[in-house]
Structure 1
Amino acid sequence: MKLRLSAVALALLGHTALFTAPAARAQNAAPQNQTTTQDNPSLARQAVGWSQDRLAELDATIVVLEKEAAKLQGDARAKADATMKALREKRDAYRTKADEAATNAKSWTDTQVAEARKSLDENWAAFQTARDEYLESAKADLATRRAILEAELEARQKAWQKSIDDLKPDAGKLAADQRAAVDTRIAALKAQADEAKARAARLQDASAQAWETTKKSYADAQQLFFDTYASIRQSIEDATKK
């Protein structure tokens, strides 16, 4: 048996875009990502599977904002409390969708999975938009924005590591030559995640502009990780079917 590797995924590993985009970019990127997953049902199912991991990022954002809100008084505190209520409602709406998808995805058709992915992306974008609108209206300082990004990145790193760890047992079932090829790709995927973490650490004292640049490239990193992971997973599945 010869393992089929994705040339596109291998090429993607050469790129180093590594952090998050603001909600506006997330919304703009969503149609393209949805089209990709609709064209490839296995990608759509993997995206739905990861939807619960994304909840950790929403929770992390809320924790940071709640701490900041607790420091406010008067009208500012009232406005912050109202925003937090709205964000928790959006987070809970996403959780409901994610739980439904996790429970039913295995029995859903490809069309139903694609629709669930679209709905999850829309709920995610709505949360991001509400968060960014609040940060702008409250004139949140760099420290607050940086704390949010760091909290989200930490949650995402944990999800990435879990995904990498989940690949290893299945890779271990392959023939020696196939396993070596997959292990090399898994190692490259881990290096990609580690570099993202290292870059964040180097930005501790960076300027506001540097942090905005960081935010604008994170969405690319998330999509890169997702595409590469899905390609490795597909390669393992193809090899075990032969």
Structure 2
Amino acid sequence: MKARKSAIGLAIFAQATLFAVPAAIAQDTTGQGQPAAQNDPSLARRAVEWSRDRLAELDATIVVLEKESARLQGEARKNADEALKALRDRRDAYRAQAEEAAANARTWTDAQVAAARKSLDDGWAAFQATRDRYLEAAKVDLTTRRAILEAELEARQKAWRNSIDELRGKASKLAADQRATIDARIAALNAQVDEAKARIARLEDASAEAWDKTKKSYADAQKLFSDTYTSIRKTIEDATK
């Protein structure tokens, strides 16, 4: 009965906060500048493209938990299915936001793009929080938790590799002396992807501390990749002006 209450409480929590993130992410029209696309269309567009790429990670998480739920029976199965529905609803809300941002980023102002990114980041964080509450309530084992991170990383890696290939394509247009430094930075960026995977593979301790540390490590890797990618891309674009 206690487990049932926990799972139902999780589902209610998720549903109640599902729309806490503004549904219309373009409502912030206070920015008086030119549309973001006129200032830096490539980076603004890339920001929302990455937000759409996150959908693959949300889908990957749900697939793993669906497999876990399929092995359960009775009340445990019912509780898991209720929590999964809450996660699917949150994922669908995020998809709607990401698609709106992707469709409008080229004409939005800087303020609107910033508001959209903030809303999407909040939606992403909310999904992760809901997922973790479910993992705790259902006492999901370490094997499944690691499978979730591995599935998320596999989905994320596709976007990262595409971004790296894009940088290589842009760097190929630079002069030889400029390319050497850029190529080295791109190689280091590629190594970051491999290290993120290795960190997850090293998750062997079932303690909450180890799990939290590994999650943070993965989150840090995502931010580092984004910051490094943006820096390299700016360097390339400055060099070609």
CA contact (8 A) 1:157 1:197 kept: no
1:89: how far off?
0.9
Aligned partners of 1:225 and 1:168: how far apart in 2?
15
Write the letter of the residue equivalent to 1:50.
Answer: W
More deviation in 225-234 or 149-158?
A: 149-158
The aligned counterpart of 2:55 is 55
Aligned partners of 2:86 and 2:182: how far apart in 1?
44
CA contact (8 A) 2:170 2:236 kept: yes
CA contact (8 A) 1:45 1:113 kept: no
1:198: how far off?
2.9
The aligned counterpart of 1:146 is 146
1:45: how far off?
4.8
Cα 1:217–1:200, aligned 2, differ >3 Å: closer, same or farther?
closer
Counting only pairs closer than 5 Å after superposition, residues 147-226 of structure 1 correspond to structure 2 as: 147-203=147-203, 206-209=204-207, 210-226=210-226
1:195: how far off?
2.0
Higher relative contact order (CA 8 A, sep 6+): 1
Aligned partners of 1:199 and 1:215: how far apart in 2?
10
1:191: how far off?
1.3
1:97: how far off?
0.9
CA contact (8 A) 2:57 2:156 kept: yes
- Per-residue CA deviations over 1:53-109 (Å, capped at 9, x if unaligned) read 111110100000000111111111111111111111111111111111111111111
Write the letter of the residue equivalent to 2:124.
Answer: W
CA contact (8 A) 1:55 1:95 kept: yes
SS in 2 for 1:208: coil
- Per-residue CA deviations over 1:123-164 (Å, capped at 9, x if unaligned) read 111111111111111111111111111111211222211110
Counting only pairs closer than 5 Å after superposition, residues 1-242 of structure 1 correspond to structure 2 as: 45-203=45-203, 206-209=204-207, 210-241=210-241
Aligned partners of 2:213 and 2:112: how far apart in 1?
36
Aligned partners of 2:190 and 2:172: how far apart in 1?
17
Bigger Rg, structure 1 or 2: 2
- Per-residue CA deviations over 1:15-69 (Å, capped at 9, x if unaligned) read xxxxxxxxxxxxxxxxxxxxxxx9x986665332211111111010000000011
Write the letter of the residue equivalent to 1:109.
Answer: T
Aligned partners of 1:53 and 1:183: how far apart in 2?
25
Q: Which consecutive residues of structure 2, in runs of 5 or more, have no partner in the other structure?
A: 1-30
TM-score, normalized by length of structure 1?
A: 0.77
CA contact (8 A) 1:46 1:230 kept: no
The size of the alignment, in residue pairs, is 201
Aligned partners of 1:156 and 1:80: how far apart in 2?
25
Query: Cα RMSD between the aligned structures?
Result: 2.0
